[in-house]
Chain A
Amino acid sequence: MYIRCVELLLIMIYECYQFYVNSVILFRKLLDSGIYCIIIKIIDMKRNILRKIIGGISLTSVMFVFQACYGTPQDFGFDLLVQGQVKSKTSGLPIKGIKVSVVNNMQYEMTDEEGRFSFYTERFGSLKLRFQDIDSTENGLYINKDTILTDLDRNVYLAIDLEEK
């Protein structure tokens, strides 16, 4: 009887150990497969929904877009990055000193030694960019060019060729 009890106890300990080992293995597999991340995301989503409901009940949805007392308002991020390179159509070489401007807007930037430009600008339905040679003969003489961009859902890269005068 005594031996039988010890035997059962050992079996139970062994089973518990097996269960623990299997759980760890399963947990690791979940981690590896990304399912764990998905579960955590679902839990986090639920928490977020609950948070928004509580915020909504207290009529404080504005609390999610707060402003520090000595800080600025929040940026709602309505812009896009426009970047690219301007080259000579004839030689294929980059052109420095081209003024790249947003039409009907005061924003502009000059191309660098590599003919490159990069700036953020307001996101509209469409965007008209103007490429102007404003430095006379200093970096060659080129004909101005306008480009209209319409697909502004994401950042834009432009390769622009300018014809020589």
Chain B
Amino acid sequence: MLSSVKKYVFRKFRDSETKRHELNYLFWECTTRCNLNCLHCGSDCSKDSLHPDMPAEDFLKAIDTIKNIPQNFTVVFTGGEPLLRKDIEFCGKELRKRGFKWSIVSNGHLYDKERHISLLNAGIGALTISLDGLKESHNWLRNNEKSFDKVINAIELASSSHRINFDIVTCVNQRNINELQQIRELLISKNAKAWRLFTIIPIGRAAHNSDLLLTDNQFVQLMDFIVECRKSKEIDVKFSCEGYVGKYESLVRDSYFFCRAGINIGSILIDGSISACPNIDRTFSQGNIYTDNFYEVWKDKFQVFRNRKWTKIGQCESCKDFKDCLGNGFHNWHGGKKNVLVCHNEKIEKNAKN
């Protein structure tokens, strides 16, 4: 009964947030160059990207169109690997001058002591680093034999600073699903405070590698692992907000599933496209900073993100959980958009039947 009331109120809250449509979180795909060649890369990044890095001035000009800085507004540098850019610190300082907070998603490969200090000096406030297993499984996924050691060094540096709010993300796959407990212990020993677990969706290079995708049984194993971890306070473990997980909703995250792509989350992509999260199908772009006013596009467009009734097709059409799920994470709509790419709840329900 209480759970139903909470869910009902949450739906009302979600509707009000959707109507409000406040920009709180802006990704900047500042480069699509990458120093790694990960097996699961969703964006098919490479060392020699087809796109040149977006000049900092172009990005700053776009965000200067933002009127009335929303509460908790933050800019997240993503890529590719953002630390390949030499001017990240310059961009960061420029953002701080404007009253914006900023942070970085990094593979940790270039995150050494000197870079840590220069990023702090430039006013970095948050950081996400990827660790995809113990040494062997991490280096396998990252396709680089030095990656694990470098990531561990990055984690040690980040956790040495009270200033940076940072977390570790792990893409759970066939190779690391059985070492999650050891990874957790490793992270606790490195003084990490937060750990988010993902699955890999079959897009980009990951579409062609079945070793990366979990079976239904393994997915439930992952959910149960997170539930168990959350009973302890040593490290804050949670499932990412990648999808709706039915009966596990209140057990694996701090709040119910709410895909805020295009509702509170926007992005400026490498070619200037204006969209929501960078892993969303690029055909959903709402405009381009080189031809449109960024903030006007944010305010006046994004209808496809704000009204998700159109996702009630394919298997979602007859789904009893649609009102809570609304077509799962937006990044699960690709190609012809006739059906959701991955249904996390289906995995759970299928496993329960077997």
A residues apposed to B, CB below 8 Å: 51, 54-55, 57-60, 62-79, 81, 106-109, 118-122
Contacts and interface: CB of A to CB of B under 8 A. Distances in A.
B101 interface: yes
Interface string B163-175: 1011100000000
A107 B10 contact: no
Interface size class of B (residues with CB under 8 A): 35 or more
A69 B238 CA distance: 11
A108 B117 CA distance: 7
Contacts of A57: 6, 9
Given A65-B72, A68-B261, A73-B194, 14 more contacts: A51-B16, A51-B20, A54-B16, A55-B13, A57-B6, A60-B255, A68-B25, A70-B278, A72-B74, A74-B126, A78-B163, A106-B117, A120-B96, A122-B163
Contacts of A75: 74, 101-103, 124-126, 165
Nearest to B167: A73
Nearest to A75: B125
B123 interface: yes
B78 interface: yes
B336 to A, nearest CB: 23
Interface in B257-289: 258-261, 264-265, 277-279
Nearest to B259: A69
Nearest to A66: B260
Given A64-B72, A72-B127, A107 B162 contact: no
Nearest to B24: A66
B161 A122 contact: yes
B76 interface: yes
Contact of A81 (B7, B96, B113, B260): B96
